[in-house]
Chain A
């Protein structure tokens, strides 16, 4: 089945540093989404990307939908302690039999920020 390869698996950085993580797949996706999840909570949507090549920012976050539609990256600038959490990429694909879509998640990137 379709899989997303997310890297790195974990990062331990100093406060103020920039962070970059990415997802790749052998399959094409119609939509790329980036979520952040805190322990014991549900994922929170950070950025949604709908068009190949699209570059979107949300505050200190910037994400891009790859031209080939098979990859996406997320950058966090000037990290702060509250950026700590697990970041998931998710690709949305459409089921050929209809308009139903499936959201497939990457394995996650655990971010730790040292004050």
Chain B
């Protein structure tokens, strides 16, 4: 089983809303990631969690707040987003941070 599950698949939110993206994996992976992908561009790393601790924050604005409640779950809390934050948000996991990463199907976020 190499499945990473993301919910919701689509999300439309206003600039004053608070919403959360969720990611779950049951492969026993101890590294989890958030990526942002704009159309026709490669995924861009946002955050890396290793053993439930934040190990990399790629200078992401504070309106994006990650959370790793346990080894299977990863959340991304969204608040006061801008229209330019509209993108495909991808979650990924791997056994460790230097092994192959498996991606979820993504959440298509639209900020209006």
Binding site for B on A (CB under 8 A): 30-31, 33, 35, 40-45, 48, 88, 92, 94-95, 98-108
B56 touches A102 (CB 8 A): yes
Number of interface residues of B (CB under 8 A): 29
Supposing A100-B55, A105-B43, A107-B42 touch, asked if A42 and B90 sit within 8 A by C-beta, the answer is yes
Least distance between B4 CB and chain A CB atoms (Å): 8
Supposing A41-B106, A48-B100 touch, asked if A102 and B45 sit within 8 A by C-beta, the answer is yes
B99 touches A44 (CB 8 A): no
Residues from chain B with Cβ under 8 Å of A30 in the complex: 98
CA distance A108 to B43 in the complex (A): 10
CA distance A37 to B102 in the complex (A): 12
Residues from chain B with Cβ under 8 Å of A45 in the complex: 2, 100-103
Supposing A95-B56, A105-B42 touch, asked if A33 and B100 sit within 8 A by C-beta, the answer is yes
Residues from chain B with Cβ under 8 Å of A107 in the complex: 41-42
Residues from chain B with Cβ under 8 Å of A99 in the complex: 50, 96-98
9 closest cross-chain pairs (CB), A and B: A105-B42, A101-B98, A42-B103, A48-B100, A101-B97, A100-B55, A100-B97, A42-B105, A42-B106
Q: Is B76 an interface residue (CB 8 A)?
A: no
Residues from chain A with Cβ under 8 Å of B99 in the complex: 31, 48, 101
B103 touches A100 (CB 8 A): no
Give the nearest-CB partner of B108 in chain A.
A40
A31 touches B98 (CB 8 A): yes
Q: Is B48 an interface residue (CB 8 A)?
A: yes
Give the nearest-CB partner of A38 in chain B.
B105
Supposing A30-B98, A43-B103 touch, asked if A103 and B45 sit within 8 A by C-beta, the answer is yes
